[in-house]
């Protein structure tokens, strides 16, 4: 386990776990460690949070904050991030990821040149609409809770910055990309927009966060190693 002096723990989040699941797991382990020493932990010692949610299907760098370090959460939320993603073409998902309801759109296989042209449309400052299934609050409620109830969710578009976006591999229907983005960028929305630009539909079928500011996935621990 790699824990910095200021109470920051870097975790490589596994797929299938929510960010809160990781927080709860580490809090339970921390409580058990104190109890094993015959010590009752204080609320401050059990104060644990995270700095930037990862969707359950996603993996990668999750910053866990312990004790007073939880006060630094907003600082990390504002940092740039780097992701590696797999975009599946030909289908859309109502959640933008593999956990949603898939709808077939097209069997057309976009040529490499078309893919590169589409990718080039999404670098620099762009306008993006966050997905309905997101943690953004609408009138005090999380958007995903409203979407799950079948209610219409109207989220205003926002400007984000795509610092870099490159094709790592393209073997239809899977398009693998690597992208360095500003805070507030949704890769699920980016995948959908690329699919629209190609005219074939798309959703983000795999996602891995590798960098947050200067913090890298190579320095993170897996939960099983803690």
55 given a catalytic annotation: yes
Q: How far is CA 136 from the centre of its chain?
A: 13
Q: Where are the alpha helices (DSSP H) in the chain?
A: 19-36, 73-77, 112-120, 143-148, 187-198
CB 225 within 8 A of CB 76: no
Compute the Cα dihedral for 211, 170, 187, 121 and give only its sign: positive
Residue pointed to by tokens 């969707």 = 55
Residue 20 exposure: Cα atoms within 13 Å on the Cβ side: 1
**How is residue 198 written in tokens?**
């190609």
Annotated active-site residue in 6, 12, 55, 74: 55
If we measure between CA atoms, which residue out of 46, 130, 120 comes closest to residue 96?
130
CB 59 within 8 A of CB 208: yes
Residues forming the active site? 55
């Amino acid at each position: 386990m790699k824990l910095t002096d200021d109470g920051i723990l870097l975790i490589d989040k596994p797929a299938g776990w929510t960010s809160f699941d990781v927080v709860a797991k580490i809090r339970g382990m921390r409580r058990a460690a104190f109890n094993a020493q015959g010590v009752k932990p204080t609320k401050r010692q059990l104060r644990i949070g995270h700095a930037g949610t990862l969707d359950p299907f996603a993996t990668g760098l999750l910053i866990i904050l312990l004790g007073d370090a939880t006060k630094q959460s907003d600082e990390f939320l504002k940092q740039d991030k780097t992701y590696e993603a797999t975009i599946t073409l030909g289908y859309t998902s109502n959640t933008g990821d593999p956990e949603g309801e898939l709808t077939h759109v097209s069997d057309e296989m976009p040529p490499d040149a078309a893919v590169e042209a589409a990718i080039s449309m999404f670098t620099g400052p762009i306008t993006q609409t966050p997905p309905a299934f997101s943690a953004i609050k609408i009138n005090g409620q999380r958007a995903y809770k409203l979407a799950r109830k079948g209610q219409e969710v109207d989220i205003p578009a926002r400007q984000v910055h795509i610092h870099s976006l490159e094709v790592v591999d393209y073997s239809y229907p899977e398009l693998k990309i690597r992208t360095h983005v500003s805070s507030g960028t949704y890769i699920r929305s980016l995948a959908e927009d690329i699919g629209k630009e190609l005219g074939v539909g798309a959703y983000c079928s795999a996602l891995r966060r590798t960098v947050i500011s200067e913090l890298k996935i190579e320095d993170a621990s897996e939960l099983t190693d803690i």
